[in-house]
């Protein structure tokens, strides 16, 4: 009897001890393509005339399908040969919810470069791997509206800060991290006012160029300070919200900021109690890079 109990206990412990691979959700904090160098590919120090092999592991942690390419280059002048930019195609499916778990696509890529030559002293360089891809997502919480501000506050607060799971923030390089809702009574109905906080993932940066009309309007230096993000905010079935910071559906994201806020509103008129999704559609180009410093050793010096 004791043995059976111990066996059961062991099975239970083993079962609980699994890392839970694949479990999770497709909503959460910003995340996307993750690039990492495979062990010793390349090694941290290479000898002159030694072939350079670069191995990358690429994991897509976001919902956007990646159909792009990944490129590898270095920071050293081409005088010494070695790593000249090489690109290869990259196809990774976005994460998907399957039951209680999440499927995540990943791949490895191998690059071979000729050796560094003619080195007359030890040199330092960095191998850089980067990939740029487009991402279009729709995310957003269910927002309740009601005909009278001040009533049924417990069920549907007139002022509400939505964070966490309720946000239904689809995981992507830029996603939403907070929605501040406000119901404003106005002549003839209710106005829905929202402040949407967007955040980009820690690694990488938003890419893209401003169109000419924006540069003309904002000045030529704006191209250095801003990158465009397409945004559309829709209270599903009731129409688009007007957002103060949007111009022709484009939000100018300051390059030095990780987080931005959009202020939007829609007049809903006389409306009964409704819980309805706020669809926040985002479209942008994102570049992720990974750098690895290496040393190229001068063979002659070693002799």
- Cβ-based nearer residue to another protein, 56 or 144: 144
Separation of alpha carbons 107 and 178, rounded Å: 32
From the CB of 75, what's the least distance to another protein, in Å? Answer: 41
Instruction: Give the count of residues interacting with another protein (CB under 8 A).
Output: 18
Query: Do residues 172 and 63 touch, judged by C-beta distance below 8 A?
Result: yes
Q: Is the bond into 11 cis (omega within 30 degrees of 0)?
A: no
Handedness of CA 223, 229, 230, 235 (dihedral sign): negative
Q: 171-230: which residues touch another protein (CB under 8 A)?
A: none
- Cβ-based nearer residue to another protein, 186 or 209: 186
Which of 134, 182, 205, 238 binds another protein (CB under 8 A)? It is 238
- Contact between 148 and another protein by CB under 8 A: the answer reads yes
Say which residues have a Cβ less than 8 Å from residue 110's Cβ, sequence separation at least 6: 41, 53, 54, 55, 56
From the CB of 237, what's the least distance to another protein, in Å? Answer: 4
Residue 249, classed as helix, strand or coil, is coil
- Contact between 233 and another protein by CB under 8 A: the answer reads no
Residue 81 in tokens: 């040969």
Separation of alpha carbons 263 and 45, rounded Å: 51
Binding mask 19-58 toward another protein (x if CB under 8 A, else -) reads -------x--------------------------------
Query: Do residues 92 and 66 touch, judged by C-beta distance below 8 A?
Result: yes
Binding mask 249-278 toward another protein (x if CB under 8 A, else -) reads ---------------------x-xxxxxx-
**Maximum distance among all alpha carbons in the chain?**
88
Separation of alpha carbons 284 and 45, rounded Å: 37
From the CB of 170, what's the least distance to another protein, in Å? Answer: 8
Q: 60-119: which residues touch another protein (CB under 8 A)?
A: 96-97
Query: Do residues 83 and 72 touch, judged by C-beta distance below 8 A?
Result: yes
- Contact between 237 and another protein by CB under 8 A: the answer reads yes
- Contact between 236 and another protein by CB under 8 A: the answer reads yes
Looking at 85-93, 141-149, 195-203, 214-222, which segment touches another protein (CB under 8 A)?
A: 141-149
Contacting residues toward another protein, per CB under 8 A: 26, 96-97, 138, 142, 147-148, 170, 236-238, 270, 272-277
């Amino acid at each position: 009897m004791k043995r059976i109990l111990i066996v059961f206990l062991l099975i239970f412990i083993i079962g609980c001890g699994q890392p839970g691979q694949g479990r999770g959700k497709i909503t959460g904090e910003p995340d996307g393509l993750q690039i990492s160098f495979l062990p010793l590919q390349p090694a941290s120090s290479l000898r002159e005339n030694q072939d350079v092999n670069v191995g990358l592991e690429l994991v897509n942690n976001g919902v956007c399908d990646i159909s792009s390419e990944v490129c590898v280059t270095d920071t050293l002048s081409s005088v010494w040969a070695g790593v000249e930019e090489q690109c290869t195609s990259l196809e990774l499916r976005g994460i998907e919810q399957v039951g209680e778990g999440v499927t995540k696509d990943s791949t490895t890529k191998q690059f071979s470069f000729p050796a560094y030559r003619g080195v007359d002293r030890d040199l330092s360089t960095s191998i850089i791997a980067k990939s740029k891809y487009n991402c279009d997502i729709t995310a957003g919480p269910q927002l309740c509206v009601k005909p009278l501000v001040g009533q049924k506050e417990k069920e549907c607060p007139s002022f509400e800060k939505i964070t966490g799971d309720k946000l239904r923030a689809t995981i992507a390089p830029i996603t939403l991290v907070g929605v501040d809702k406000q119901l404003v009574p106005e002549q003839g109905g209710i106005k829905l006012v929202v402040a949407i906080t967007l955040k980009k993932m820690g690694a990488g940066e938003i890419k893209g160029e401003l169109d000419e009309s924006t540069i003309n309007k904002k000045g030529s230096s704006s191209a250095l300070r801003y990158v465009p993000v397409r945004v559309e905010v829709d209270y599903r079935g009731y129409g688009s919200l007007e957002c103060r910071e949007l111009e022709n559906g484009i939000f100018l994201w300051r390059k030095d900021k990780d987080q931005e806020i959009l202020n939007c509103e829609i007049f809903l008129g006389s409306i009964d109690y409704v819980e309805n999704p706020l669809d926040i559609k985002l479209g942008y180009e994102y570049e992720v890079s990974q750098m690895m410093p290496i040393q190229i050793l001068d063979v002659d010096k070693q002799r």
